[in-house]
């Protein structure tokens, strides 16, 4: 089938068709990449602004810039019971498209300035919950004293880490689990006091090592005595940026000498994609943890089941389609954005503890509402059937909202990170672009050597660097984040052959890349 957006060919499998039939939506006319790009264009993760609350007037941190034509409440006002989302309710107009009406409703119903629910002293965190003393976190929960990090859970005293779970006192790490005291490590589990580790398990006190299991006092995969190891560490001046850069470069070259598993899929069955852990039958998924029967999805975790085309769904969710951040005991939702503990919602935004609503925004504990207007159960069922019939006729039903209706400019969203476009390309598509504000450089602040912007160094991170005897960063938070993301495999699969046995594998390593790729069996024999 040809994608109506990018014109590339894509395949709809029999398994896909069974799912679409099960939830009652037509087959998509866009490829999985374009469908994801569309969703991500509605997700501003880390473009923060100061803006006045439209209710109390106090200045607050917000993902909405002051010039956005939306009603925005600070967190305290938004979660308060002093306003009623139903007062913005309106009748459905069959002379207009549904998406146009939802867009108009979204501009009037108060939006939450930024989302960091049940957090303490963590004002500059977004899409987060239950964090304490944290700063510049995105999509993270249950962390304490963590800074400048992305998608971390249950971590403590960490800076510049991403996709980590139960990690403590660590720096510049990606996709590490149950570990402590790691610096510059990737794809590690149950490791302690390690520097520059890749794909290691159960290791401690190792430096620049690859594919090791249950080892101690190794340097570049060579066994050392405890004294030799400690003497080596003493010889390193970690504050010397050039020396540290040299070790980073040597480590990357060293990694290429060892086989890489075709994908980071661990303790999982019948899965394809990458960064999949303890999951079953997840196809073309990226970053899945304890998930089952999901497809074309990213961030499906902690008992997500039967989800398709979602970005972030977990904590006991099931049957979610074409949605962003619909999680926490949610079921049977289509086209939703940031809805928690909900069921049978269609195209709802920022709704909590709701069920059986269609095109609603900001509702809590409500049922049988359409465009924020209350109906009886019978009225609701009759009207939703008519709306779906109209949406089907004009090719809206099952699709996500068009990018032109996003409350954010394209380059403010995570879509720009994974599907980068120039301003000209964005404008040509009829989407929004935000030009950066011109700021006078502050000589009292460091300047990023990559993007040229000033950035702050907060007291907590300065103490952290002193503890590890590390130099202060020379790049801003966003550039450091992008550097870590470049170390991860892309969200795309290629067909390659195992370099040892020749069997075909679906891998996130493109054929032109230099890594030696092994299938699961050959890699496990190499490791153990």
> What's the rounded mean pLDDT across residues 97-114?
98
CA atoms within 13 A of residue 208's CA, in its CB half-sphere: 20
Structure tokens that stand for 67 in this block: 């010039």
List pLDDT tens digits, range 47-94: 999 999 999 999 999 999 999 999 999 999 999 999 999 999 999 999
Could you identify the residue written with the tokens 């402590």? Answer: 180
Per-residue pLDDT at 313 = 96
The CA-based dihedral angle spanning residues 37, 41, 42, 47, taken in that order and rounded to the nearest 10 degrees: 130
Structure tokens that stand for 93 in this block: 């107009």
Per-residue pLDDT at 317 = 98
Extended strands (E) in 169-253: 171-183, 186-189, 192-198, 204-210, 216-219, 222-223
> What's the rounded mean pLDDT across residues 21-25?
97
List pLDDT tens digits, range 195-223: 999 999 999 999 999 999 999 999 999 99
> What's the rounded mean pLDDT across residues 423-442?
92
Of 461, 477, 456, 483, nearest in space to 47 by CA:
477
d(CA 456, CA 167): 24
Per-residue pLDDT at 438 = 79
Per-residue pLDDT at 239 = 86
Per-residue pLDDT at 528 = 64
Per-residue pLDDT at 474 = 94
Per-residue pLDDT at 150 = 97
Structure tokens that stand for 475 in this block: 């790049």
Of 462, 473, 455, nearest in space to 244 by CA:
473
56 alpha carbon, distance to own chain's centre:
31
d(CA 88, CA 372): 6
Per-residue pLDDT at 439 = 80
Q: Are 331 and 318 in contact (CB under 8 A)?
A: yes
> What's the rounded mean pLDDT across residues 120-137?
96
Per-residue pLDDT at 437 = 80
DSSP reduced 3-state for 8: coil
How would DSSP label each residue in 349-415?
Answer: BS-BS-EEEES-BS-BS-EEEETTEE--HHHHHHHHHHHHHHHHHTT-TTSPPPGGG-SS-GGGSTH
How would DSSP label each residue in 468-503?
Answer: TTPPPPSS-HHHHHHHHHHHSPPS--EEEE-TTT--
Q: Is the pLDDT of residue 378 over 90?
A: yes
List pLDDT tens digits, range 6-18: 999 999 999 999 9
Q: Is the pLDDT of residue 436 over 90?
A: no
What single-letter DSSP state applies at residue 262?
S
Per-residue pLDDT at 225 = 98
Extended strands (E) in 98-185: 111-112, 116-117, 125-126, 128-129, 135-138, 144-153, 156-168, 171-183
Return the CA Rg of the chain.
24
Q: Is the pLDDT of residue 241 over 90?
A: no
Q: Are 321 and 333 in contact (CB under 8 A)?
A: yes
Structure tokens that stand for 408 in this block: 């954010």
DSSP reduced 3-state for 457: coil
Could you identify the residue written with the tokens 């859970």? Answer: 153
**DSSP strand pairing (111-112 vs 116-117):** unpaired
Q: Is the pLDDT of residue 446 over 80?
A: yes
d(CA 245, CA 248): 5
Contact residues for 471 (Cβ-Cβ < 8 A; gap 6+): 238, 239, 240, 241, 244, 465
List pLDDT tens digits, range 286-301: 999 999 999 999 999 8
Q: Are 250 and 209 in contact (CB under 8 A)?
A: no
d(CA 71, CA 406): 14
Structure tokens that stand for 520 in this block: 């699961």
Per-residue pLDDT at 440 = 82
Structure tokens that stand for 302 in this block: 């902690």
Of 479, 523, 482, 478, nearest in space to 500 by CA:
523
Q: How many CB atoms lie within 10 A of CB 8?
A: 12
């Amino acid at each position: 089938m040809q994608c109506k957006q990018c014109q590339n060919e894509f395949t709809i499998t029999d398994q896909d068709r069974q799912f679409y039939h099960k939830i009652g939506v037509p087959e998509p006319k866009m490829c999985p990449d374009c469908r994801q790009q569309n969703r991500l264009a509605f997700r501003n993760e880390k473009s923060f602004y100061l803006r006045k609350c439209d209710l109390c007037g106090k200045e607050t941190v917000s993902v909405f810039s002051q010039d956005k034509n939306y009603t925005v409440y600070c967190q305290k006002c938004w979660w308060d019971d002093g306003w009623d989302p139903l007062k913005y309710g309106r009748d459905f107009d069959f002379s207009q498209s549904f998406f146009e009406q939802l867009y108009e409703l979204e501009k009037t119903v108060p939006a939450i300035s930024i989302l960091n629910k049940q957090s303490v002293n963590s004002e500059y965190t977004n899409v987060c919950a239950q964090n304490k003393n944290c700063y510049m976190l995105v999509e993270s929960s249950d962390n304490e004293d963590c800074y400048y990090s992305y998608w971390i859970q249950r971590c403590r005293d960490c800076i510049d880490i991403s996709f980590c779970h139960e990690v403590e006192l660590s720096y510049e790490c990606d996709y590490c689990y149950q570990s402590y005291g790691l610096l510059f490590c990737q794809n590690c589990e149950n490791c302690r006091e390690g520097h520059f580790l890749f794909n290691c398990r159960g290791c401690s006190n190792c430096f620049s090592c690859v594919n090791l299991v249950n080892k101690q006092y190794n340097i570049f995969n060579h066994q050392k005595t405890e004294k030799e190891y400690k003497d080596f560490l003493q010889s390193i001046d970690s504050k010397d940026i050039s020396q540290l850069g040299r070790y980073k470069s040597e480590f990357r070259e060293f990694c290429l000498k060892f086989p890489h598993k075709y994908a980071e899929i661990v303790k999982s069955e019948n899965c394809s994609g990458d960064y999949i852990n303890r999951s079953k039958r997840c196809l073309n998924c990226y970053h899945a943890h304890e998930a089952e029967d999901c497809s074309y999805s990213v961030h499906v975790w902690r008992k997500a089941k039967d989800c398709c085309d979602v970005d972030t769904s977990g904590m006991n969710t099931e049957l979610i389609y074409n949605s962003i951040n619909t999680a926490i005991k949610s079921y049977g939702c289509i086209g939703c954005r940031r809805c928690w503990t909900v069921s049978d919602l269609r195209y709802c935004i920022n709704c909590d503890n709701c069920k059986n609503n269609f095109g609603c925004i900001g509702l809590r504990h409500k049922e049988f509402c359409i465009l924020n207007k209350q109906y009886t159960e019978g009225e609701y069922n009759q009207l939703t059937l008519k709306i779906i019939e109209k949406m089907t006729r004009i090719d809206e039903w099952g699709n996500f909202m068009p990018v032109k209706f996003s409350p954010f400019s394209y380059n403010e969203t995570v879509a720009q990170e994974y599907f980068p476009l120039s301003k000209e390309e964005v404008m040509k598509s009829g989407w929004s672009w935000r030009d950066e504000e011109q700021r006078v450089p502050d000589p009292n602040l460091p300047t990023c050597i990559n993007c040229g912007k000033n950035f702050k160094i907060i007291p907590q991170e300065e103490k952290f660097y002193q503890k590890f005897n590390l130099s202060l960063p020379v790049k801003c938070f966003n550039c450091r984040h992008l550097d870590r993301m470049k170390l991860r495999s892309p969200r795309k699969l290629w067909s390659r052959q195992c370099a040892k046995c020749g069997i075909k594998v679906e891998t996130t390593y493109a054929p032109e890349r230099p890594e030696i790729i092994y299938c699961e069996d050959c890699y496990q024999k190499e490791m153990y």
